Structure 1
């Protein structure tokens, strides 16, 4: 894991949020385990993912820059040694020079495993640090600690995020895992995989894997909140005469009525065809019409338009549609 997330992404510390995102996507496109079998590429992708996960969060980035957390997002411990603690004023375990038995100190710090009333210590298992206990001292007790959460970034395509689905990821240990993507997943949303993080200590369970989702751009679909926007090409005659045409939605194709006299840029609404919202309702789909000319304007079409223009000429630039001159 890189100690400098900026270096892992190849950006300066003054890089903008957009520059950081662009740098991560560039690395993901070349070094993702699904695209590159080189172990060195896997390491670069792993480091870049952790770096992007840290720096895309403005609060976390600021804390890292101030030195409050490390590159893994963990709190930086104060540089304090046991001797400083043991000889501190007011410490009930203070001794003059005997550092032979640490068991009471660790029992006080971590709980010694026996219920001693509400908030009381718990007594743990003896010899938890292997063999004769911590540092060879007899009577040292073990403690249970949950494993660390591991953070990753997962890029999914727009339709998988919108419709929901399953995507396969490769963890740093080489194991593959199928991840369920909920319908309506947003860019920046976190998916928690319980028990897929770091191993615990003693009787502590493993941590979780936290996947920060990045939704890839799609040329045919755009998102605005829970609404989605698409573009529908139509012909000249469909625009003039009106027509029923097929339009794609997240749920499959539907028939859409193009009104007579439609113009490019005009939007039609399909209610309830958008993304799943937090309240259980769905947004709408807005379909923007775009008139597409035929591949070749033949003599018949040109002749017709010339005759039509002689008696019906108009200037849309002088009088905007729906407005005034």
Structure 2
């Protein structure tokens, strides 16, 4: 039979209310009484029923984090930042992977709503945020991660991806490259579209420069490798002299293709820059230039905004936008 709070109270010689205070508000109880109750808890093997407590409170202490692709180290770092900040606030984070699939995203949101999650942090698959609005009305607020709300009605924390795309293309132009290619996709992902628009703006401002778009179905290493193989299948004169990849995983795949197939040296023949500045960008065979996003800070800030949403629900959606940073390594400037 499970040990109850009443059993602990009888063993420790205190009231049920005192045991409750030790569990939830220990500062209200003398240190000697706290120690006696904790000894009884340990001796009897009492385990508190958080599910019942959360049901009475109306929400759990768990935050749901829904990301597009957990294989991407960028989202892993976002999760680490969210977990650290949540722990500081007495919360926990449960990570779910939508895998760019709207149906999977809906399934995860259903689960978090059914479990009365503290709230949801989400990088949504598409632009339709009606589901999040309905969840908020039912008491489960949300914060967009690495995305902004077009209407400004959902709290968000993101990076200025237009500026990041402009920084990447401007760097390639500054080192003398003129035949640029953008590798990314799918175009429905807002971050990809924004990075492309930023690159287009930089290229449009440089006379004689061109920008080719090579769209891939996903933002993976394998998709980057396929794009690299397609580039190398062309005649040398028809290849771009620089490539801007929509994320570092694509850039790593491109770099693998160029190294395995040969025929194109990085950066001598094709300069290459990625996006996110994930940990191993600096450790590739040719260290990768990239546009850095503060991934852990994004995750931590999202938790702060979620708590703010709960404490001040009538303030509207707060928006935090970080600025990206150009990180230059050997894949664009050589040694």
Higher radius of gyration, 1 or 2: 1
TM norm structure 2: 0.23
TM-score by length of 1: 0.23
Point out which structure has higher relative CO (alpha carbons under 8 A, 6+ apart). Answer: 2
Q: Which has the higher helix share?
A: 2
